[in-house]
Amino acid sequence: MKTNEFVKLLTPPILVQAHRALRNRGKMQNGLYLSGDYSSWGEALAASTGYDSEIILEKTRAALLKVKRGEAAYERDSVLFDEIQYAWPLLAGLMWVAAQSGGRLNVLDFGGSLGSTYFQNRRFLERLPAVRWNIIEQPAHVRVGKEFFEDNQLKFYNSIEECLTQTSPNVAIASGVLQYIEQPYELLGKLMSLPVSCVIIDRTPFWSGEYDRLCIQRIAPSIFNASYPMWIFSLRKFRNALSGATLKEEFDGFENGLFGLLWKGFIIGLSHEPTI
């Protein structure tokens, strides 16, 4: 046995993962970079351009308009793809909620951009008797969403509270969102306190350490020139935050392994009765 193989066998998995994450940090993967290890959100934000860049919004708008018109199959993070890349566990969770509600699905999609997850799954959603998809986003996204995308099914709101005055969702989702929020556990608690039967978390990065790490995610200039703070969550700490709820399923995201990290999702059942 080679010396490096012997050392690897003796090294605890948590240290192997930490080494892999540090080694991959700063290298471009899938058009993304991770850099730094910041002590506060304010420090990381000051070193980045922020997520509310008009460049991101305009590129996302242009890409999703092509998807809406049937000129492209799928959009993710403003990038177009020739075929849809499904997040099957997320879709299964949505269908599970609909099955409990007489086929009706009313989604609160926090940070849902201009409808990325809605358009990703619409060929399945169209078979349901009643669908309403409510996106909670930044004011600029809401303005563009209302102008170019809103219809009888797809709606846009500036806050959870505003949405709840208009409709009663039976499921809440946060896909690729919690890591970009200054107070992610506060948002997670708020979603779990909603009168919904299920909360679905997806596309969220983790590592096996005891604490959450704060980096900056930078986008390759070929996509768009932007950067913003990003949490890498402690998997143990995050699981503890779900105590008191029923974890129906924990699953690997399709980005699993990116930057040497775990990318996971959770289907969380709540005690609230679904809306029929």
Class of domain 19-51+86-269: alpha beta
Query: Where are the domains positioned within the chain?
Result: 19-51+86-269
Compute the 3-state secondary structure of the chain and give helix, strand, coil in percent, each to the nearest 5: 35, 25, 35
Rounded to two decimals, the pTM is: 0.86
- Tokens 């990116």 belong to residue: 258
Which tokens is 21 given? 């994450």
pLDDT of residue 30: 55
pLDDT of residue 6: 34
Q: Residue 35 has what DSSP assignment?
A: E
Tens digit of pLDDT for each residue in 47-74?
998 766 688 899 999 999 999 999 999 9
> Tens of pLDDT along the chain (276 residues)?
444 433 333 334 433 444 444 444 455 565 578 988 999 999 999 999 876 668 889 999 999 999 999 999 999 988 999 999 999 999 999 999 999 999 999 999 999 999 999 999 999 999 999 999 999 999 999 999 999 999 999 999 999 999 999 999 999 999 999 999 999 999 999 999 999 999 999 999 999 999 999 999 988 777 777 889 999 999 999 999 998 899 999 999 988 988 899 999 999 999 765 444
Interstrand relation of 171-175 and 79-81 (parallel, antiparallel or unpaired): unpaired
**Residues facing 263 on adjacent strands:** 205
Interstrand relation of 213-219 and 32-35 (parallel, antiparallel or unpaired): antiparallel
Tens digit of pLDDT for each residue in 36-51?
899 999 999 999 987 6
pLDDT of residue 275: 46
| % of the chain surpassing 70 pLDDT | 86
